[in-house]
Structure 1
Amino acid sequence: MISACGNPRLLIFSKSLKLNPNMKNNLFAEFQKVSKDEWVNLAIKDLKGKDFQKTLVTNAPDGIDLFPFYTEEDSHDLGFLKKFRNRLNVPSEIPGTGPRFWSNVHAVRVNDEKADNKNILKALMGGADALLLDLKGKVDFEILLSEVDVRYIEVYLRVENEITERTLDFFNWMERSDFSNNDLKGGLLWDPMTSCLESKCLKQDQLDIAEKLLQIGIKFPSFRLISVDAAHYHDCGASPVQQLFLSLGGYIELMDGLTDRGILPVDILKKTILQGAAGSDFFLEIAKLRVFKIAFFELAILYKEDFILEDVKLFASSSYWTKATSDVHTNMLRNTTEAMSAILGSCDALWVRPHNEVIDEIDSFSERMARNISNILKEECYLDKVLDPVAGTYFIECVQAGIIDKVKRELQILEEKGGWWVNFENHQLQDLVKAARYTRLEEVKNAHKVKVGVNKYLLQNEDPKNALENWEEETWQLLPLRDGFLIEFPNLEKK
């Protein structure tokens, strides 16, 4: 038998490269180490006189600079992030699956229990393993969830009004069923503070509801009842740092109010779920969502020392803010990159919104496409085969560090100004987000930011469909919007 080295062609090839016999143990032994400054100087040389900073450095929101490359030198001061690598997600315990698991969420706007039940069963057979039930009124869960085995899925609730009553209805159905209380997994997507940005409410009323929910939900240890909703700020046009420090600032307000009533911090923390949205800035969104978990964990351990990172759960969605009503099918491409950001950003549950949601034409096709994005990223792109693919990457961790610093600084400033509720009542919080929103709207309107199908490569003779013709926002409100709004409605006045 002839070995590889007995092949004359391979011998000639190896001699020409002067291979080190120990190369198999150290593949980089023959390469000279290059410093960051040397890389920068080489780039400047290739730019032929152009400014490196202006040409190759991207100025992201919140004053975060994204460089064209990062090296080991950039990570020298990021040792504190090492303890979070490969820990932002709990390895899957399901036999035969990859270590990285996230739930594929199917959303249902409940109107007709019988028809919606058929939709739910079809979705679960088609790859979904979590439900988001959007409840506007009283629901017959016996019909809605008939033949649904909650032992193998997660259930999330989003309630428009009478939150305590509707949640109690759901719990009562669970107790009447053949399932154990421990079988129920998921959560109520309700942020007591952030919800005040849409409909008027009193702080004490929100605390009363939260306290009541914590009391009635104690029987269901794996069902969370309070969310920290950064997704709402995202869909209102807030910057990444604003999304995090404002949602966390509201949670601090809630924690202070509930602990003053004698509720233990641990009882609140274990019933909390994070709620985020992934936008179109791929790498920045990955870093933002990872920071969301890290920042919440560091906040949590201030209340309880033995709180563990693996207890932090993140429900992530694709973005409403980035979607377009013109050339609506391009939203499927946006959904795909946003879903990747959410997965790499450590989400535990992923809701890909239907691409035609913005024109109120959700159908079985758009729902299937939304489910399949998550399925394809798992089954064909193998994103479930590695627990934490971006752990230790210089780029992501440098951006994470920048976001963490700014979030901590802004949280400190918010507290110095009296906290979330004071800033909400004097509208400083709303004005801050609206200023950031208007800047981003102008970027799309003036084509400083390219948006396919909106300000670039427009479809000819397309009949525009707008679902927000009567959109109005009070000074105290922050309502979801889209970044192409000024093009859809050019006469919109600055608010």
Structure 2
Amino acid sequence: MAPDAAAFDGDLFPEFTPTSTATWRDTLAADLGADWAERLRWDAGEGLTVRPFYRAEDLDGDVPTGAPGMEAGWQIRHDLASAEDPRRELHEALDRGADALGLPVERGNSEHLLRDLPADVNLAETALHLTGASPEDARRLFASADVDEPRGSLTFDPAARRFASDDFDADDGYRRLASLLRDEADRAPPFRLVTADARALHQAGAGPVASLALALASLSEHFARLTEERVAPETVARHAQVVLPVGTRFFIEVARLRAVRRLFTQLAEAYGADGDARLQVQAVTAWRATALYDPHLNLLRGATAGAAAAVTGGADVLAVRPHDAAQQNAPSDTGRRLALNAQHVLREEAHLSRAADPAAGSYYAEVLTDRLARRAWERFQHVEAGGGLLDELQRGAVQERLTEARGERQDALAQRERVRVGTTHYPNLGEERLGDAPERSERPPRETDAFERLRLATERYARERGADRPAVFLLPVGTPRTRSARANFARNTLGCAGFRAVDSTGFDAAERGARAAADAVEAGDAQLVACAAPDDDYASLLPLLREALGERDAPVLAVARPDALPADERDAVAALLYRGMDLLGTLEALQKQLGITQEG
């Protein structure tokens, strides 16, 4: 028998006594130690810290809940790989269940493309999102469309275009966009014409807070410039959309998409846009998080982490990049199919399309949304105080901050403080991708580029010599537990440069291990030796190894921190491997010792 909903008193579990926050804290202190709160606090960057848990009292006061304008469901978008001959891929995507298409029109072929395409697509049912397009491209589409209200959007952001190119005339861009809006204003909301495109900013290094702040600053420029061109603020608001790349930090991305709606509502009200205009949020899995090596992990990044976060955060349109997008001649047919099916799983099997705001009521998500929104609003006000986004771009202030942020992200990867599984951690040692790698100039940069150049250089070195990739002899000495852990660490760190591993079961006696390493080098089976021993054993192991190697030229490495070895022993090894090391710099130095050079 179904429960009587009218009799529900709000207590779902009356049998259980509520547990106070103080009790939780005392229990955690007893189990994890008095410093549990500090150790479990997460520094998410950009001045944002996240506590281990939140309770109902954290929502008291001025913390708003919910995200305005969220609706259940989303458009499954497929971005066509090429505008040269899109028809085959277009019909393939529609047959596989896409209900939105991203059409690139950067190549100057928009006139015939937009004239002929409506014959293949029912624009009343399938949304067409024009990327790299101009206001004139939208006019061409409207002129050829056989429906009064085509669905889709125009991704034309004069501020983002100015960021991408100093030669772009933003003033002229706003005049052309205003003319389009005055003529075609009634087409909203099925077709959005005012876009804040955060993709290039995100690619340049913007984190969650900065990308929100700069997207808001872009929308602010749109309101200001378009109203100067006699476009009503209500029209701007009704046409507004934002394009946000989503990464792999699930709750951060959920909060970011929820926060942008709240911030847009504040902004629209500040510009006097009356009514209940609803921001359209487009999400695309981030290009900078895509890796060349171990590409199937991109399925997990894009489909499991990024896509699930996007729909949980309330994206109206979502494009998932194919997992092999970083490869030459990509994406493949399999990559395109899996990218679409990932969204179908979220919609049809996980049923995430049935809830308007799945994260609503989560203390963690609500507080994180509020913190992100507040930090982004502060950053936005800083940009406005500098004259607005275009003025900040003109002075180079935005570019300088993003370059600094990108450098910090790259440094964190180089030191393994940030993880890219398959690239900086746990590489597939048998994988080779030299034949799949595109030319560096062909694609925008990605976060894993520097590590991938290391591995590609190692592969190229081996191919040019008709030999296997250089190998490291793992020399585990000491107790099995310690030597095994340190040998695994050496295997994984050196594998990030594409070095093969010559394994051994370990040696109880240092003399036997040193002799085995020397034999492997003598036979040409190994070109490096990595010692994996307890700190106290290095004083005896390293001299024995040097004696056994004699004149053989093989860099010797040790898994140990610098303060664990005497100065003379530190100077005698080519590199030390430890957590927090500059892994990228260490691997580059080892490659130089072996005569391996990178192209370009």
TM-score, normalisation: structure 1:
0.83
- The Cα of 1:396 is off from its aligned counterpart by 0.5
The match for 1:331 is 298
1:241 aligns with 2:209: yes
Of 238, 244, 248, the match for 1:280 = 248
> Could you say which residue in structure 1 is the equivalent of 2:516?
none
Task: Say if 1:480 and 1:328 are closer, same or farther in 2 by CA, change over 3 A.
Answer: same
Q: Which amino acid aligns with 1:117?
A: R
What corresponds to 1:58 in structure 2?
A: 42
Change (3 A) 1:480 1:251: farther
- Alpha-carbon separation, structure 2, partners of 1:164 and 1:40: 57
Q: Aligned-pair distance for 1:152?
A: 1.2
Q: Describe the superposition over 1:247-303 as per-residue Cα deviations: whole angstroms up to 9, x where unpaired.
A: 211221232222223221112221221111211110011000111111112111222
1:69-468 matched pairs, under 5 angstroms: 69-82=53-66, 84=67, 87-90=68-71, 100-113=72-85, 116-135=86-105, 136-139=107-110, 140=112, 141-159=114-132, 163-174=134-145, 177=146, 179=147, 181-182=148-149, 184-199=150-165, 200-218=167-185, 220-221=187-188, 222-304=190-272, 306-308=274-276, 311-336=278-303, 337-360=305-328, 361-461=330-430, 462-464=432-434, 465-467=436-438
Query: Matched residues in 1 for 2:48 and 2:69: separation?
Result: 23
Structure 1 range deviating more: 325-334 or 282-291: 325-334
Structure 1 gap segments, 5+ residues each: 1-21, 91-99, 472-478
Amino acid at match of 2:259: V
Amino acid at match of 1:128: A
Q: Which amino acid aligns with 1:359?
A: Q
Q: Tell me the distance in 2 between the aligned counterparts of 1:314 and 1:72.
A: 29
Aligned to 1:277, the other structure's residue is in SS state strand
Q: 1:111 to 1:278 in 2, by over 3 A?
A: closer
Alignment partner of 2:108: what SS? coil
**Aligned residue for 1:3?**
none
Please say if residues 65 and 366 of structure 2, whose CA atoms lie closer than 8 Å, have aligned partners that are also in contact: yes
Q: Which residue, out of 3, 23, 28, partners 2:13?
A: 28
Deviates more, 1:25-34 or 1:405-414: 25-34
Do the aligned partners of 1:102 and 1:348 also contact (CA within 8 Å) in 2? yes
- Structure 1 residue 456 displacement after superposition: 1.1
CA distance in 1, matches of 2:354, 2:227: 41
Instruction: Tell me, yes or no, if structure 1 residue 484 matches structure 2 residue 448.
Output: yes
CA contact (8 A) 2:223 2:271 kept: no
In 2, Cα distance between the equivalents of 1:303 and 1:25?
40
What secondary structure, in the 3-state scheme, does the structure 1 residue paired with 2:441 have? coil
Cα distance in 2 for partners of 1:345, 1:424 equals 30
Structure 1 residues 122 and 55: CA distance shift in structure 2, 3 A: same
Q: Amino acid of the residue matched to residue 348 of structure 1?
A: D
Letter in 1 for 2:132: V
Cα distance in 2 for partners of 1:436, 1:64 equals 14
Q: Whole-Å Cα distance in 1 between the matches of residues 395 and 276 of structure 2? A: 36
Residues 315 and 347, structure 1, Cα contact 8 Å, conserved in 2: yes
Letter matched to residue 62 of structure 1: E
Structure 2: which 5+ runs fail to align? 1-6, 455-583, 589-600
- 1:413 Cα deviation after fit: 1.6
Q: Write the deviation string for residues 42-89 of structure 1: whole angstroms up to 9, x where unpaired.
A: 21221135x22442111102221222221111111245335x3xx532
Does the aligned pair in 1 maintain the 2:359–2:365 contact within 8 Å? yes
Structure 1 residue matching 2:354: 3-state secondary structure: coil
1:470 is paired with a residue whose SS is helix
TM-score calculated relative to the size of structure 2: 0.69
Letter in 2 for 1:482: R
Distance of 1:46 and 1:296 partners within structure 2: 43
**Which has more radius of gyration?**
2
Counterparts of 1:68 and 1:389 in 2: how far apart (Å)? 21
Opposite residue 342 of structure 1, the aligned amino acid is A
CA distance in 2, matches of 1:252, 1:480: 27
Q: Secondary structure at the match of 1:392?
A: coil
Letter in 1 for 2:349: E
Q: CA deviation at 1:219?
A: 5.2
More moved, 338-347 vs 220-229: 220-229
Question: Helix, strand or coil for the counterpart of 1:347?
Answer: coil
Within 2, Cα distance between the matches of 1:63 and 1:319? 22
Give the Å deviation of 1:193.
0.3
What letter matches 2:39 in structure 1? T
Distance apart, 1:376 and its partner CA: 0.7
Q: Which residue of 2 aligns with 1:474?
A: none
Structure 1's 487 and 41: CA in aligned 2 closer, same or farther, altered over 3 A?
Answer: same
**In 1, Cα distance between the equivalents of 2:226 and 2:174?**
7
- CA shift for structure 1 position 198: 1.3
